[in-house]
Chains A and B, each alone.
Chain A
């Protein structure tokens, strides 16, 4: 665990207590079984807002506490442990970061406070296919009087059905694949021409595909300079990736601990199966990976807070490392539990499904290894 300030320690402990007592995995399971369309419980999100979690990264002048990304990561790690479903990552971290990084004073003023209070749910609408490739933007934005008209489609938008505000990447010039010519827009999800289709994913979390058909956006909807949205987008995505990595670290830690408990209680051949070296060594390797992953995630969050130059490297490192670790641990969770791990009644499947969805979101291991190598110049 990173060396925390007293305030950070309090925040983490409060998040741990709340998630363990108020939002255990059984609550996520009940939510899944209920088929609730938003895929999270608005009352739960309201509780999070009441505890101040939705304003953790937002500056005080815009209604938040300016507590930083490490602080947000500490919360997300705890929500990850219990698979707590909420728009905290999509709205209070990812979309809020985009507005903080690219917004004018007026945009921050109008958009951030409602996000911080939990009344507004915002999200990033970035990807246009099955894979995260943020430079592959085909959705077009053409001038329309003083404003713009957006046409195209976005895929796998987190909390896309719940969101009232979309941060959309669009192409104002250049060809698909180029980073120049990308612009960011703030689009209200109830604007004419926006069509949302709910996705039912294996992890039972909220996501949507969103079509834009000549959606009119005013000049005040442009976020950052026209055609130069890439820098803000990359910085925003790095913050979202680091936050997601923290959630994944929590999920991996819990999946491991649950499995370790099982190794200490399941008896076969007259002894607990955790006495067998074949399983002990695999457990020790998982523990090793978890410790390495934790170092990467904490370093990435701290780098964001201190605006360090190597933040992108550390974020790609963290996302790839924690993704590989979560992948391994969730597979082992099923295998080491044996038959019971294959049943829907057991939590192993919930962690496995969430793991793969989180791995694919904002770039998987292959994406971030390639990005890391390019940043290192080979």
Chain B
């Protein structure tokens, strides 16, 4: 592909490669170097820490390279999207660790850049770039799942502050987060127009979090309770009653981000490893070298091929986005999360089936760590078609927005 400024990009790549090599903490180089598992998420508890992961993050953050395309005025790298891709490529090619995992980077930052006041940007963006504040997302409520806009958490104007009362659920890492970006109801007379987007310090009096046990065991999800929590007036983003637009915008960023983690053994379930090889190990092969269970072989193949089709679609979407910058996301983008969830769940089921009873170990002896991960990963993957918008909601969106099919008339 012909790139404008190709020579400059090459020079940037060389410069970046050198800088990364010189600045990567030697302590991280060792295979399996042990660092605090929470360190990649940063936050208040790591301020002043000398954990090598934090050192690495700080060095990149000082150049704005944890948020490469954000404006440098707010601590970002100020890079072009082409340069940012070069940086990404150099980080992964060099085998360097991801410097910072952050809902602030992936979700909140982009909407702050779009909707926040200058003062709010100055207050929050640089701390996201620097990994100083760990954010969580207060969206779902017990009574507001797929129908998110029916949320009830109350936000009252008390003159010099907002007063928050209500409950959130599925708040990932709420028990470890420093701040929460939250949807609240500022007007009970209107559904969508009664919603506002507000930023809450989790250290405020009246905030309580409780981790949720899932069918797969421990989870990062929490229930979050707000009881008479006072929030400064300046913390509301956008206009009062304008939160739904911001919420939807942020969900777009979330859905882009979430699908990447499905199925391969990350936090969203499934388990790593080549399904075909694992099935061979547990089932054996026939005289021709084919998996001995021909029915399972067919279904494994179907899943592997569908995954390859999915990855080819991801790269097609990316290259189309590069060539039509400004034309908006291509139609294929809208199917990504739905397809990813479906395939990840199928894969997790096939893993368990391939392992037989060895794929159902819960804890203790008789099962190795990988086998137990496969059991837990299978159960966790059931959430893939629920979290971040259920598959049913995803395909509703495809039917309405992409295919232009109308809403049913009621009655």
Query: Chain A interface (Cβ within 8 Å of chain B)?
Result: 1-3, 260, 263-264, 270-272, 274-277, 279-281, 283-285, 287-288, 291-296, 298-299, 313, 317, 320-321, 366, 369-370, 372-374, 376-378
Is A291 within 8 A of B291, CB to CB?
no
Contacts of B305 in A (CB 8 A): 317, 320-321, 369, 372
- Selected contact of A284 from candidates B301, B302, B322, B399, CB within 8 Å: B399
Q: What are 20 sample pairs from A and B whose C-beta atoms fall under 8 A apart? A: A271-B406, A271-B408, A277-B396, A280-B395, A280-B403, A283-B399, A284-B338, A284-B395, A284-B402, A287-B403, A291-B331, A292-B339, A294-B332, A299-B312, A321-B305, A372-B304, A372-B305, A374-B290, A378-B290, A378-B291
Is B279 within 8 A of A284, CB to CB?
no
Q: In residues 290-337 of chain B, which contact A (Cβ within 8 Å)?
A: 290-291, 297-298, 300-302, 304-306, 308-310, 312-313, 315-316, 319-320, 322-323, 331-332, 335
Is A378 within 8 A of B320, CB to CB?
no
Distance (whole angstroms) from the CB of B262 to the closest CB of chain A: 15
Instruction: Tell whether A280 pairs with B297 under 8 Å between CB atoms, given A287-B335, A291-B313, A292-B306.
Output: no
Distance (whole angstroms) from the CB of A295 to the closest CB of chain B: 4
Instruction: Tell whether A275 pairs with B406 under 8 Å between CB atoms, given A281-B399, A284-B399, A374-B290.
Output: yes
Assess whether B285 is interfacial by the CB under 8 Å rule: yes
Kindly list the 8 A-B residue pairs having the minimum CB-CB distance in the complex, ordered from nearest: A280-B399, A284-B395, A378-B276, A295-B312, A284-B398, A295-B313, A292-B309, A275-B408
Bound complex: CA A378 to CA B38 (Å): 39
Query: Which residue of A is nearest B291, CB measured?
Result: A378
Is B297 within 8 A of A373, CB to CB?
yes
- Selected contact of B302 from candidates A1, A270, A369, CB within 8 Å: A369
Distance (whole angstroms) from the CB of B3 to the closest CB of chain A: 13
Assess whether B407 is interfacial by the CB under 8 Å rule: yes
Distance (whole angstroms) from the CB of B186 to the closest CB of chain A: 32
Bound complex: CA A317 to CA B339 (Å): 17
Is B319 within 8 A of A378, CB to CB?
no
Bound complex: CA A271 to CA B405 (Å): 12
Distance (whole angstroms) from the CB of B221 to the closest CB of chain A: 27
Contacts of A298 in B (CB 8 A): 316
Bound complex: CA A118 to CA B185 (Å): 70
Is A1 within 8 A of B320, CB to CB?
yes
Known interface pairs A264-B406, A276-B408, A285-B395; 15 further A-B residue pairs with C-beta atoms within 8 A, sorted by A's residue number: A2-B316, A3-B322, A260-B403, A271-B406, A272-B406, A274-B405, A274-B406, A275-B406, A281-B392, A284-B338, A287-B398, A287-B403, A292-B309, A292-B310, A292-B335
Distance (whole angstroms) from the CB of A282 to the closest CB of chain B: 9
Distance (whole angstroms) from the CB of A257 to the closest CB of chain B: 10
Distance (whole angstroms) from the CB of B291 to the closest CB of chain A: 5
Contacts of B332 in A (CB 8 A): 291, 294-295
Contacts of A1 in B (CB 8 A): 320
Considering residues B291, B306, B320, B399, which has the most beta carbons from chain A within 10 angstroms of its beta carbon? B399
Contacts of B32 in A (CB 8 A): none
Distance (whole angstroms) from the CB of B248 to the closest CB of chain A: 19
Instruction: Tell whether A263 pairs with B405 under 8 Å between CB atoms, given A292-B310, A373-B290.
Output: yes
Assess whether B277 is interfacial by the CB under 8 Å rule: yes
Assess whether B280 is interfacial by the CB under 8 Å rule: yes
Query: Which residue of B is nearest A369, CB measured?
Result: B301
Instruction: Tell whether A280 pairs with B396 under 8 Å between CB atoms, given A3-B320, A288-B335.
Output: yes
Interface contacts (Cβ under 8 Å), in number, total: 131
Contacts of B280 in A (CB 8 A): 378
Counting contact residues on chain B (CB < 8 A from A), the size range is 35 or more
Distance (whole angstroms) from the CB of B216 to the closest CB of chain A: 27
Assess whether B409 is interfacial by the CB under 8 Å rule: yes
Distance (whole angstroms) from the CB of B19 to the closest CB of chain A: 31
Q: In residues 179-194 of chain B, which contact A (Cβ within 8 Å)?
A: none
Is B405 within 8 A of A283, CB to CB?
yes
Query: Which residue of A is nearest B316, CB measured?
Result: A295
Distance (whole angstroms) from the CB of A263 to the closest CB of chain B: 6
Considering residues B298, B316, B409, which has the most beta carbons from chain A within 10 angstroms of its beta carbon? B316
Bound complex: CA A288 to CA B298 (Å): 22
Bound complex: CA A3 to CA B408 (Å): 37
What is the 8 Å Cβ interface bit string for chain B, positions 91-109, against chain A (1 contact, 0 not)?
Answer: 0000000000000000000
Assess whether B404 is interfacial by the CB under 8 Å rule: yes
Query: Which residue of B is nearest A320, CB measured?
Result: B305
Assess whether B33 is interfacial by the CB under 8 Å rule: no
Query: Which residue of B is nearest A377, CB measured?
Result: B276
Bound complex: CA A171 to CA B189 (Å): 82
Assess whether B1 is interfacial by the CB under 8 Å rule: yes
Distance (whole angstroms) from the CB of A175 to the closest CB of chain B: 16
- Selected contact of A376 from candidates B276, B395, B400, CB within 8 Å: B276
Contacts of B300 in A (CB 8 A): 373, 378
Query: Which residue of A is nearest B323, CB measured?
Result: A3
What is the 8 Å Cβ interface bit string for chain B, positions 370-411, against chain A (1 contact, 0 not)?
Answer: 000000000000000000000010011011101111111100
Bound complex: CA A275 to CA B305 (Å): 33
Query: Which residue of B is nearest A288, CB measured?
Result: B335
Contacts of B403 in A (CB 8 A): 260, 280, 283-284, 287
Instruction: Tell whether A270 pairs with B409 under 8 Å between CB atoms, given A378-B276, A378-B290.
Output: yes
Is A288 within 8 A of B316, CB to CB?
no
Instruction: Tell whether A264 pairs with B335 under 8 Å between CB atoms, given A271-B409, A321-B309.
Output: no
Is B291 within 8 A of A275, CB to CB?
no
- Selected contact of B405 from candidates A275, A285, A299, CB within 8 Å: A275
Contacts of A296 in B (CB 8 A): 308-309, 312
- Selected contact of B407 from candidates A275, A313, A369, CB within 8 Å: A275
Contacts of A283 in B (CB 8 A): 399, 403, 405
Contacts of B277 in A (CB 8 A): 377-378
Instruction: Tell whether A275 pairs with B409 under 8 Å between CB atoms, given A292-B313, A292-B339.
Output: yes
Contacts of B289 in A (CB 8 A): 374, 377-378
